[in-house]
Structure 1
Amino acid sequence: MSEKIQPLPKNTGCIHEGYFFIFKSGEKYRWRYMFEGKRVVRNEKGRESKEECLAEIKTMRGCAGAPVYEDE
């Protein structure tokens, strides 16, 4: 018997071990922050989607007390 993972509300996420986790429609997407001058966000396949991801991040809240970084 496997545990059923409850879907989290849309546009929630947290930062854990250098990754930003986005939870959307019950699925988990992982984005890595790269800090080189400008903030760049990459998904785990390495494709950049900065505008899309920053737009998502602006609506996020932190979890487990972790900070959420917003586009400045």
Structure 2
Amino acid sequence: MRYVISFIWAFMLTQMVNFVLNSLGGGSPYMFWSGVALAVIITATIAIFDVMLKHPDEENEAQHNH
């Protein structure tokens, strides 16, 4: 669930940044899919960091609790 929420926030924020920078850059056609691609990359990066930075003790606790 936390990755879904991360994607939603990344999607909204990248769309806002994309729109503002596009407007400041002269108002060329709005590129919706570049914001979506960036949101997917940000969410994947968060997921990878979550796996890489998880402490081994937390993994053992999670396995014993289930």
Q: Counting helix residues as a fraction of each chain, which structure ranks higher?
A: 2
Fold agreement, TM-score > 0.5: no
Instruction: Bin the TM-score by the shorter chain.
Output: under 0.3
TM-score between both structures, scaled by the size of structure 1: 0.24
Q: Counting strand residues as a fraction of each chain, which structure ranks higher?
A: 1
Q: Over alpha carbons, which structure has the higher Rg?
A: 2
TM-score between both structures, scaled by the size of structure 2: 0.26
